[in-house]
């Protein structure tokens, strides 16, 4: 389950990407990168972050710890930056906090990354339909000589079109072009590791993860929040059951 914390100070906006995440301090004395529920991309990108991180950890990939962070109203009141103030005001309540990794730097192929770890990253992104791991924007950090996977909000992008009725027949479609992926050279490793990674991914605490997602972040999917959670569970199960359509990385 995701721990709940309360924001105590908005440090500064991080003007990378369109969502304007912010660096914030919390009542547990931690510092976090916060993605806001009131951002233009909507709350489903926060859902994608939570589920993707759970699957990533289950197959042995590193992702920063996630927590639900509550923004009290006074946080916005004293922010001088008008754009940031508007975003904070729109995000009063629960948001998503990712542990800040001080001193980390962007992956540029300078670190020695094993073929196994590289193939796992590629498999993960094909499974969850994450198109946002290219050389232009790898969303990988080096920290203490280890590789960390970050920013999975673009994953599960078909869910932006999900409504009360969701067609399970579309769950097996490939969602990205493998050639654009930063780990594309490791595509040949995929068939050999698939069964191993499916077995590992099955150990992900998916039920607990889905239950920890706030109900209002699931609004509009399925008949109610519990139905939405079942849809996400079925989506992952269907994609892991038969990787043939998506493991090739071909657009359909």
User: What is the residue extent of each domain of the chain?
Assistant: 4-99, 105-247
Residue % of the chain over a pLDDT of 70: 92
**Angstrom distance (rounded) from CA 157 to CA 252:** 15
Question: Is the CB of residue 87 less than 8 Å from the CB of residue 93?
Answer: no
pLDDT in tens, 133-156: 998 889 999 999 899 999 999 999
Q: 33 or 84: which carries more pLDDT confidence?
A: 33
pLDDT in tens, 161-192: 999 999 887 787 766 778 889 998 888 877 78
Query: Band of the pLDDT at 245, cuts 50, 70, 90?
Result: low
String of DSSP letters for the chain:
-PPEEEEEEEEEE--SSSS--EEEEETTS-EEEEE-TTSTT-THHHHHHHHHHHHHHHTT-B---EEEEEE-THHHHT---HHHHHHHHHT-EEEEEEE--TT-EE--S-S---HHHHHHHHHHHHHHT----SSSS--EEEETTEEEE---TTTTGGGGG--SS--GGGTT---S-GGGSTTGGGGGGHHHHHHHHHHHHTTS-HHHHHHHS-GGGSTTSSSSHHHHHHHHHHHHHHHHH--HHHHT----
pLDDT in tens, 59-104: 999 999 999 999 998 888 877 888 889 999 999 999 999 999 999 9
Mean pLDDT of 116-122: 92
pLDDT higher than threshold 90 for residue 109: no
pLDDT in tens, 208-227: 999 999 999 999 999 999 99
Mean pLDDT of the chain: 89
Question: Is the CB of residue 2 less than 8 Å from the CB of residue 68?
Answer: yes
pLDDT higher than threshold 90 for residue 23: yes
Residue % of the chain over a pLDDT of 90: 61
How much is the pTM?
A: 0.93
Question: Is the CB of residue 88 less than 8 Å from the CB of residue 75?
Answer: yes
| Residues whose CB is less than 8 angstroms from the CB of residue 185 and which lie 6 or more positions away in sequence, other chains included | 118
Structure confidence at residue 80 (pLDDT): 80
């Amino acid at each position: 389950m995701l721990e709940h914390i309360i924001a105590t100070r908005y440090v500064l906006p991080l003007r990378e990407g369109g969502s304007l995440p912010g660096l914030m301090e919390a009542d547990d004395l931690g510092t976090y990168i916060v993605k806001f529920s009131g951002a233009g991309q909507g709350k489903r990108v926060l859902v994608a972050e939570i589920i993707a991180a759970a699957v990533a950890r289950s197959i042995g990939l590193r992702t920063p710890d996630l927590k639900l962070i509550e923004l009290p109203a006074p946080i916005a009141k004293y922010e001088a930056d008008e754009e940031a103030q508007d975003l904070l005001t729109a995000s009063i309540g629960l948001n998503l906090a990712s542990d800040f990794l001080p001193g980390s730097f962007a992956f540029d192929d300078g670190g020695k990354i094993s073929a196994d770890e590289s193939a796992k990253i590629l498999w993960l992104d094909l499974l969850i339909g994450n198109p946002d791991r290219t050389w232009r924007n790898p969303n990988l950090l080096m920290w203490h000589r280890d590789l960390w996977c970050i920013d999975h909000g673009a994953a599960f992008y078909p869910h932006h079109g999900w409504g009360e009725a969701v067609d399970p027949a579309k769950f097996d479609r490939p969602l990205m072009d493998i050639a654009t992926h930063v780990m594309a050279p490791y595509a040949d490793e995929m068939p050999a590791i698939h069964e191993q990674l499916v077995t590992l991914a099955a150990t992900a605490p998916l039920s607990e993860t889905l239950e920890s997602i706030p109900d209002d972040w699931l609004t509009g999917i399925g008949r109610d929040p519990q139905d939405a959670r079942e849809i996400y569970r079925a989506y992952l199960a269907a994609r892991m059951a038969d990787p043939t359509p998506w493991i090739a990385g071909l657009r359909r």
